[in-house]
Amino acid sequence: MKARYYIVGLLLTILALPIAAQDLGEVARKERARQAAIQQKSKVYTNSDIATTRPAESVVTPKEAAPTAGAILDREGHDERYWSEKFLAAKQKLSDALATKTRLEQEIKDYSYRLLNQTDVYDREHLYGPLIYEHQQALDKNKKDIAAAQAELDDLYVQLRQAGAPASWADSRLAEQPPAPEQPTREYYAELLKHLDAKYDAMARPYLEERFRLINRRAPAAGEPLAIDTGKLGLGIDPSIPQLDAQIKEVEDAHQKAREELLLQARRAGFNLQ
């Protein structure tokens, strides 16, 4: 009798094994499905995802990721270099206008002082009166230039936000140099040299123009050479010209040093630009 119960119990156990196996298989499948769902919800977003899915108010900030050229695009298809060029140009425009304001105000002050206090050795040809009037007219125009430049920059910030681009692109200096190729080329270094020359020419131009005005008693015409040999002017030279000469030389020396460093860098890469 006991043997019969034992055999029946054994048969029931054997019959239950497939059912248990089926239950375990079902549990395993459900667990795999749950894990897959978790992984899907925890997807790691790349820069490409950010560019196409993030709204304007949640764009990448410098704290989240440092954008690189070409890595992400705004909603209009523009990259970091595009915005860098826009903002650098707008900021330079405003900076130039503010620098012009400072220069004009200082020169009006200097000319007024000389007109009132210097002997006629320095103004026997009535130079300072017309210069003061000319500078005052230029200052009035400059106020409008500053307002226009500021409005242009403010509008650019609005455009950046509307395009959904990273806010950090407003301060990017990527466009100050041409795009670096994978392998340096002679053309690349030539373009760097061109940018360098333009930068220092712009720095020296205000001093050259002011010296030209003092010597020739008029503003330079468009495209007119500004170089003047002040050593041949003799007596009666405006007292500020030597100071202008020193400022021009300082810029020229810095330009020459930067040029030599870039030319050396090009030679090390196997390119002689001279």
Kindly report, residue by residue over 37-58, the tens digit of the pLDDT: 444 433 343 333 333 333 333 3
Range with lowest mean pLDDT among 18-27, 68-77, 182-191: 18-27
The band of 145, judged by pLDDT with boundaries at 50, 70 and 90, is very high
- The predicted pLDDT at position 91 comes to 94
Domain ranges of the chain: 2-43, 44-175, 177-274
Residue 92: closest CA among 141, 161, 153:
153
Residue 169: pLDDT over 90: yes
HEC per residue, 167-196? HHHHHCCHHHCCCCCCCCCHHHHHHHHHHH
Total residue count of the chain as it appears in this document:
274
Residue 239: pLDDT over 90: no
Residue 150, both tokens? 């500021």
pLDDT over 70 percentage in the chain:
68
- Burial class, 98, CB count within 10 angstroms (exposed 0-12 / middle 13-18 / buried 19+): middle
Q: Considering the chain, what is the average pLDDT of its residues?
A: 75
d(CA 212, CA 214): 6
Residue 233, both tokens? 């002017």
Range with lowest mean pLDDT among 16-25, 43-52, 76-85, 154-163: 43-52
Residue ranges in 59-184 assigned as alpha helix (H): 80-117, 128-162
pLDDT (mean) for 162-176? 91
Residue 125: pLDDT over 90: no
d(CA 135, CA 121): 22
Which amino acid is it at 260?
A: E
Query: How many Cα atoms within 13 Å fall on the side-chain side of residue 164?
Result: 14
List pLDDT tens digits, range 214-229. 887 777 877 888 877 6
pLDDT (mean) for 107-124? 70
- The predicted pLDDT at position 231 comes to 61
pLDDT (mean) for 130-153? 93
Residue 73: pLDDT over 60: yes
Integer angstrom CA distances of residue 203 from 23, 114, 152, 173: 81, 27, 23, 18
